[in-house]
Homo-oligomer: A and B are copies of this chain.
Amino acid sequence: MTVTTENPRFNGVDTATLFATLDAVKGTNQIAEFQFRATNTWVSGTHNQSTIYGFHGAKQEMLHQATWTFDADHPAVLVGEDNGPTPTEYLLHALVSCLVSGLANIAAARSVTLTEVTTTVEGDIDLLGILGLSDDVRNGFEQIRVSFTVRGDDADKLKDVVEQSRRRSAVYDVLTNGVPVSIEVDAG
């Protein structure tokens, strides 16, 4: 695959705009200050819905092209009604999708062709923690495993691209290094 003026996309990535964006951010660092958001409404029991639409970035308020709503719930075995995935499954999706989006950008920037990227992610959790039945068990995942199958260019180049996606993933960073979370409550 060759990048030309007529075909500026590489692996579906608009590389010309990607490099232009990098140059713009180098010139004005403030463009890179983003804020992402979600709004959640409790429905009943463990079922609740989040809405994702507006965000801040490039020095302005912005809107996605659509308003997305996602249901979360517990399955019946965890005393819910299974109206959607569990929150922890959304967390796994956030991790894997971040790694894959980054991988595609990095491969395009390096002119490394991708023909297939399929990935599985598994997280082990012992619910004795969140059920309050053991002080020795943490509430969250004890470990998460990600397995990539990547096809296209030379194997070493593909492995390097996966490694760089790990090194530059926003979600991998917060999951492995932690992030401060503050909570405010208006109750009554």
Q: Is the CB of B127 within 8 A of A97?
A: no
Count copies of this chain in the complex.
Answer: 2
Chain A: interface residue total (CB-CB under 8 A): 133
A130 at the interface (CB under 8 A from B): yes
Interface string of A116-151 (1 = CB under 8 A from B): 111111111111111111100011111111111111
Q: Is the CB of B62 within 8 A of A75?
A: yes
A1 at the interface (CB under 8 A from B): no
Q: Is the CB of B97 within 8 A of A94?
A: no
Interface string of A160-187 (1 = CB under 8 A from B): 0010001011111111111111111111
What is the distance, in angstroms, from A71's C-beta to the closest C-beta of chain B? 9
Query: How far is A48 from B125 in the complex, measured between Cα atoms in Å?
Result: 26
Given A168-B130, A184-B148, are A40 and B158 neighbors across the interface (CB < 8 Å)? no
Q: Is the CB of B144 within 8 A of A38?
A: no
What is the distance, in angstroms, from A156's C-beta to the closest C-beta of chain B? 8
Residues of A with Cβ closer than 8 Å to B? 9, 11-14, 17-18, 21-22, 25-26, 29, 32-48, 50, 52, 55, 57-58, 62, 64-66, 68, 70, 72-75, 77-80, 82, 84-105, 108, 114, 116-134, 138-151, 155-156, 158-159, 162, 166, 168-188
Show 6 residue pairs from A and B whose CB-CB distance is below 8 angstroms, ordered by the A residue: A25-B133, A29-B128, A29-B133, A50-B93, A52-B93, A144-B181
> What are the nearest 3 A-B pairs in CB distance?
A12-B44, A12-B45, A87-B98
